[in-house]
A and B are shown apart, each in its own frame.
Chain A
Amino acid sequence: MRKKVIFKGTLLPWLLLLPQLLITGVFFFWPAGQAIYGSFLREDAFGLSREFVGLENFSDILADPTYLAAGWNTVVFSSAVAFSALGIALFLAVQADKAIRGTNFFKTMLIWPYAVAPAIAAVLWLFMFHPQIGLFGRMINGMGILWDYKLNGGQAMTLVVVAAAWKQVSYNFIFFMAGLQSIPRAVLEAAAIDGARPMRRFWTIIFPLLAPTSFFLLVVNIVYAFFDTFGTIHALTGGGPGQATTTLIYKVYVDGVQNLNFGSSAAQSVILMAIVILLTAVQFRFIERKVHY
């Protein structure tokens, strides 16, 4: 798709592009290149010299049980966040799409958590589930179940999943609402006349027609769970207890910023880049297919 009528000139368009390309070059491509380059190097203990080690950083990482554990944590965390946030959002969107009074009020009340920063969302849930000062934390302990997300890995994971999903429901809700509204009314009416009751209409008409939206959201949610939840984990558990809530992205941060492990961190960055490229490719392949009816 391109314009038929176009202005001529070479200097002006490049000047217009300059700010964007400059920032992209300095802060995106250069560091990304450095990461790739650095992933083949190893720094000595004092940070004085670097030597070329080939793929050793990668093989070290992939043999490192803590890295594999972080990978597994990421899978568990991402799928739990994505599926719960998608399921709840879809359910609520279908309810809010019904012709009932007050839907606008409900919509506003369900949309605003989008504006809450992931880190703040974490803090809000911390206030509720803190074992000493949190309402529910104390309640659970009062029921005789030992609750302390700072000591119990499973509980820590549950809490970060809840805090991360809580915030993402709003986003999914907005898209599911838009998706529902883009289904032509007449199609649903035709189904009603064909004899389909609401439940059947949902599963045979609405749900399949929402498939493109759902798939798009699935990718977005996975990306969110991978990258944007750094703040949630950092503010809530700091990756602990032990490594129970350390995801891949959190590990890059810990190894690079705290442990100053240059080569390993660079190799981890490269692996993450590959994951993002994969996800983006999947998403775009699908967008091309999107005109699927």
Chain B
Amino acid sequence: MATLTLTSVKKQFAATQVLHGIDLDVADGEMIVVVGASGCGKSTLLRIVAGLETATSGTVRIDGRDVTALEPADRDIAMVFQNYALYPHMSVFENMAYGLKIRGMKPAEIRRRVDEAAQMLEIGPLLDRKPRQLSGGQRQRVAMGRAVVREPKLFLFDEPLSNLDAKLRVQMRAEIRRLQKRLGVTSLFVTHDQVEAMTLGDRLVVMHQGRAAQVASPMEVWGRPADTYVASFIGSPAMNFLAATLEPGGGAAALKAGLTIGFPDGPRAGAAGMPLTLGIRPEHIQLGEGGLDLAVDLVEPLGSETVIHGTINGGEALTVRLPIPAHGIGAVLPVILPWDAFHVFDGSSGRRLEP
């Protein structure tokens, strides 16, 4: 159990800058989820922490110790890989015992630890099997077990759930979270799946083009996204963005669609006429007269709720998620956009503008 501190970690592959200086402080026992689209540098970051890649500059400290130049072997970490990376020629027991054996642990102690972990993960009866005789879910558990027996300072997870089918994924997700809480091991979990990120992390690191766009708790990321990228990446269906300009005084915005929106939480700084992007989540839009007319072009029924895609005056697309069944939705839908549901972003930089 330990803390993890990254200080301006950069990575360059030939001419491409993959990481532009990542800073991160992970508290003891915390579960951090690094989330982002493919190619955002999240896996590289994890591999730098693991020691499988070396950072071009910056430092990695585990429990206060500078491990930047150390090999994985000297870092006291464990990792669960995307394809599990079980040793194909070893039995489940040998897979789990390998790391302990290398550390020169006594056979009796190895036996005890492996049995304990196997019991916790319910893979006791599989200890004599080879990895090829296991199902995907079982392999996943063995990979977890291999990490658990080591009792490392740090758990690293590299998209460990992406090879499982949807149902198993949900189940394993909950199990990983329970296990991590129970063992209290500081963890770094990399995924591209926003649901996984939201449900697993104490805090999220949303990565975008080699930068940490936002580091915050899941609800904070959802409720106060730092920029339009984070806003669109977290939440499903994605947040709507509407072009607008700042009104004189900064207390309201004029939508391109012809509506004026007041800022209930206070005025934004900026010159009158400054371009803005206003974001509103589909689930925050309500049905009712006196707002905008939505020309419906697609209705997606989800059972108890309905997702409606359409365009508003001025041609901008708008997605609405309503807690009503799909039938009886006409070609034109009057919708209300509540003022307090809006997120205000700078129109050119995309950064969030606070009052």
A291 to B88, CA, bound (A): 11
Known: A187-B88, A190-B87, A209-B88. Contact between A196 and B79, CB under 8 A?
no
Majority SS of interface residues in chain A? Answer: helix
| Structural contact, A189 and B85, CB atoms closer than 8 A | yes
Q: Determine the residue in chain B with the shortest Cβ distance to A189.
A: B52
Partner of A195, one of B52, B103, B132: B103
- Whether A140 is near chain B, meaning CB under 8 Å from some CB there, is no
A209 to B132, CA, bound (A): 14
Q: Determine the residue in chain A with the shortest Cβ distance to B99.
A: A194
A204 to B87, CA, bound (A): 10
Cβ of A3: which chain B residues have Cβ within 8 Å of it?
none
- Whether A31 is near chain B, meaning CB under 8 Å from some CB there, is no
A195 to B146, CA, bound (A): 12
Partner of A205, one of B71, B82, B87: B87
Question: Smallest Cβ distance from B43 to chain A, in angstroms?
Answer: 12
Q: How many A-B pairs with Cβ below 8 Å?
A: 67
A218 to B77, CA, bound (A): 39
Question: Smallest Cβ distance from A199 to chain B, in angstroms?
Answer: 12
Cβ of B351: which chain A residues have Cβ within 8 Å of it?
none
Cβ of B79: which chain A residues have Cβ within 8 Å of it?
189-190, 193
- Interface residue ranges of A193-210 to B (CB < 8 Å): 193-197, 200, 204-205, 208-209
Question: Smallest Cβ distance from A204 to chain B, in angstroms?
Answer: 8
Question: Smallest Cβ distance from B94 to chain A, in angstroms?
Answer: 10
Cβ of B77: which chain A residues have Cβ within 8 Å of it?
193
- B53-65 interface code vs A (CB 8 A; 1 in, 0 out): 0000000000000
- B83-105 interface code vs A (CB 8 A; 1 in, 0 out): 10111110000000011001100
| Structural contact, B85 and A192, CB atoms closer than 8 A | no
User: How many residues of chain B are within 8 Å of chain A by beta carbon?
Assistant: 26
Known: A193-B72, A197-B73. Contact between A187 and B102, CB under 8 A?
no
- Whether B118 is near chain A, meaning CB under 8 Å from some CB there, is no
A211 to B73, CA, bound (A): 26
Partner of A186, one of B71, B73, B81, B103: B81
Known: A186-B82, A197-B73. Contact between A191 and B87, CB under 8 A?
yes
CB-CB nearest 7 A-B residue pairs: A194-B99, A186-B85, A293-B88, A190-B85, A195-B73, A195-B102, A193-B72
Q: List 27 A-B contacts (CB under 8 A).
A: A186-B81, A186-B85, A189-B50, A190-B79, A190-B81, A190-B87, A190-B146, A192-B52, A193-B50, A193-B72, A193-B77, A193-B78, A194-B73, A194-B99, A194-B102, A194-B150, A195-B72, A195-B99, A195-B102, A195-B103, A196-B73, A197-B71, A205-B87, A208-B89, A209-B88, A209-B89, A291-B132
Interface residues of B (CB under 8 A from A): 50-52, 71-73, 77-79, 81-83, 85-89, 98-99, 102-103, 130-132, 146, 150
Given contacts A195-B99, A293-B130, 10 further A-B contacts (CB under 8 A): A186-B85, A187-B85, A187-B88, A189-B50, A190-B146, A193-B50, A195-B73, A196-B73, A209-B89, A293-B132
Interface residues of A (CB under 8 A from B): 184, 186-187, 189-197, 200, 204-205, 208-209, 211, 291, 293
